[in-house]
Structure 1
Amino acid sequence: MPAASLASAANLSPLDRVRRTTTLLVLTLLVAQIFVLLAAQLVVLGGFDWRQPAATLLVVVAAAGAWATLPPPASRLVLAACLPLAGALSIWAFAGNAWQTGMQVYVYILVAVSAGFCDGRTLAASAAAVAMFFIVGGLTVPESAGVRGGEYLRILMYVWLVVFEGALLAWLAQTMARSFQRSDEALADARQAHEELAQATSAREAMAAQARDERNRLMLALARRLESDVGGLAGEVAGAATDARGCADDLRALVRRGSDNAGAIAASGGDALDSAAQVADAASQLSEAIAEISSQVTRSSGVTREAAERARSAQAIINGLSEAASSIGSVLATISEIAERTNLLALNATIEAARAGVAGKGFAVVASEVKNLAGQTGLATSEVAQKVAAIRDSTHEAAEAIESIATVIFDVDAATSAIAAAVEEQDAATKEIARSAAEAVQSAGAAARGCEETLSAWTDTNGSADGIADLSKLLSGRVEKLQTVVDGVVAEIRTDAA
């Protein structure tokens, strides 16, 4: 990576920062590889073999040149290939030594370091470099690759291991790269959202400032409007209240004069009402007396009519009784005839029973009893006929007497009716007088009540005038308070707007 890129590391994405850190780590390991190799040879082998350190130095120089001159994708591929290749030179340095196996493991570890580039291509370059080392070294100088001559399967195994490791690590590197890319996208979205939020906040603050200015302008306008409109209206109301108080005083004076006149009229109306009431009382008493006379005459006429009606009823009853007595006579004649026939039949039955001898003895007894009963019936019928004849004669005499009484009663009823008609005419005239007197009383009463109502109305009007005056005073005080409140509100609005 160029030095200029290192200066701008603060602006890198998380993926680029990881790759930058891995690049620095690889460069550090490459430089340290020279000194580690020299120290290991001195400690393990007891001397130096300058071929391996020199080859390692060439690898380091190539890696540094690529890093300094090539763009990041190409420089990462060179660094990924140089690091395990420099480690593979350690396998050559410890050829025939027990440490050679450990150096092979070290090479596999260095291949894994390239996973930090988060690029499958760098793992492919690392694995390819190590595989070429095993193939070329195993075929040309087998000891340098850690194999003996002819162990091609072992060489193939080493190649397979490094290729398998590279494939796994390449998959892991690509997964990490995608994760970092998604993280970068999320971070970019977050930055964009932050910028949009900042813009929205700025716009909101600008709108709030504009709203505050507009509110202050409206509040000042409202203050001016309140001061002009409400203040002027309060002055007008105060003037109107003063005028109303003056009108109320004039109205009270007028009410006092009207009340005095209404009192005088009410007193005169009271005297007229008393006189009319006395006339009405006298007419009422006269009407009551005539009504009592008319009532007595009416009752007498009713009694007379009732007596006449009863006389007619009694006459009808007596006539019916006479007719019933006549009917009874006819019935008695029929009964007498039946009794005679029964007696004759009983006689015949007795004769027939005597002829029958002993067999008709019982029948003869019955016939004898029937004959006796027929004789008794004939006697009783004869007595009843005498009684009925006597009743018929008495009934005829009673009918004549009742007819005479009815004639007298009818004459009395006619006289009573004439008296009742005269009394009714007098009662009608008296009632007309009483009605006129009552109407006069009502008119006088209505006039008196009108005067009283007028006096009460003047009194109420006087109270209303007093109330209007009091309300005018109260309204004036409230208007002054309203003016004070409006002045205070206007002052507060102007202070807040400022």
Structure 2
Amino acid sequence: MNPIRGFQNAKLGVKLGLGFVVMLSISLTLVANDQRSMSSSEESFGDFGRIATNSLLIANVEKGLLGTAVSARDYQLAPTAENMAKLDSSRQLFQDTLKTARDAIKNPERTRILAEMGETQNSYDSTVVKTTKLIDTQMRILSEEMTPLGVSVRQAISDTNDLAQKANDLELSSDLGKINESFLLARLSVYKFLQSNNLDDQKRINEELKEAEDALKDALSKPNDASLNQRLTSIGADVPRYRAMADKFTDATAQRNQLAMEAARLRGTLLGQINKVMESQKADQDKLKQQVAQDFSTARWFAWSGLAVALLIGVLCAFGLTRTIAGAVQTMTRAMQALAQGDTKVEIPARGRGDEIGAMAAAVQVFKENAIERIRLEAEQAAENEAKEKRTRAVERLIGDFDGQMASILRTVSSAATELDSTAQSMSATAEETSRQATASAGAAEQTSANVQTVASAAEEMTGSLMEISRQVSRSTGIANDAVNQAEQTDATVQGLAQAAQKINEVVELISSIAGQTNLLALNATIEAARAGEHGKGFAVVASEVKNLANQTAKATQDITAQIASIQDETNGAVTAIRGIGGTIRQMNEITTTIAAAVEEQNAATAEISRNVAQAAAGTQEVSLNVGQVMEASAQTGSAATQVLGAASELSQQAEMLRTEVERFLAGIRAA
């Protein structure tokens, strides 16, 4: 059997299934290759993630190390309990992060480096602890030994200086001032050295203490009072003690500095070890990047190769299916299109095939035969329908002519009846509205006449009221003028009071000036009495009393000045208020004058209103007469409109009956 012939006669499902099997085989091959590449990439990404996690752990170790260094520096600058707690927390964090990193990292090289870091960390932590203890020793020496002794020496020097001044020993007082200055500078240098850790400040401590000791020796070598010598001897013993304490303090500082340098060296070693671990992890990351890139490149090559093979096989399958299926389907489609367009002579292809195409050709052949029979039956039915249509068109033409003529006549009659009905309704409504308006006008005219009479009476009463208002306004104007004159007199009186207060203020200023000069004279007298010595003591007492009297006089003048200022403020306020009252009264006078003029104008207007009201009364009577005549005419118009409306309604009913009968007649004809 011919294989090609057998493939052509095979079912379409078999052909398509074979093609899909080939494509699925290729797809499975590509998926298997992708799965292998993904597994390799997944393993590489897992290693990369572990290295990234370990890098984060090493970064935390570095953070703990730097945090410990910062906390140690803060405690050195400010040795408080809070900073010590921060330092302990940082040390513990450094230890915990390093232990976590050592437990997590399994790479042999990095494990070795982390083991070395553990040993270095122990040394670094021990150095930090020793440094804090030396700082505590420094602060104990400073607070418990040096500070109390320094305060005691400073007080002893001050007390001895007071005794020397009382003994009028100016030379010893000067020496004690130098001793005090050197000792204070030495103490200041101690605190500066604590903050700066500068060797110049340490040198300054020794220099200032030596100057204090030399000054003490110089003071003791001079003849002094026994009690003063005893005090100087005591101070001379305390200053060397303070020097010994300062030496102990600076020695502790030197040891602290050595430990700080050792801690810095160990910290540098730890940072170097951290960098080695980071560099080792970075090298592994670079290797993983290269491996992942190579895996992706291999997977990409297999993917493109498989795609090319799949494309080639797909093209071959498509070509085979096109030749066996698509060609026959296209030929069958052209035959079916010709048959659909009415070509019953077309030949149906592939009727001898054993697949679905052959079955389709047999079915199309049946459609062809049915189409030929349908064309024959349609020709017979068309001839019969043509005869019926000729008779129907003739009847429809006659009915249409009759319907058009009757519709035109009925529209004319109906339109005329509608217009007549509308006109009658309009006339009736107009007559009713005219009657209603006339009735309302008559009532309004009567009401207007009554209102006019009322207005006339009110105008007369208003004239009398306006005359009384004019008289009262004239009286108010006179009273306002009197008030203005009194306010001006009061203003002048208060102004005189203000001027008198100002003169009193000038006198007080003169007294204050005299008191100041007296105070200066008393001060000069006191100075001269001091220069005179014992002979000027009595004069000094008198000068002191004069100074006290001058101070009391100055204080009294200040009180008087304050009171006068208060009087002036109150006087100025009274002047302002009185001037405001005068202005208000003037405004009231102007308003009453304006009211008087308005009342005069109102009298004239009221007289004119009375005259016009009389004329309006005569006019309203004439309007009432004309309104009666209009009401009679509107009644006649309403009667005529009612008659026309009845006739129009009757005509409209007759036209509607005629239209109904014609429609019934035409419907019967169309139904027949």
Q: TM-score, normalised by structure 1?
A: 0.32
Q: TM-score, normalised by structure 2?
A: 0.25
Structure index of larger Rg: 1
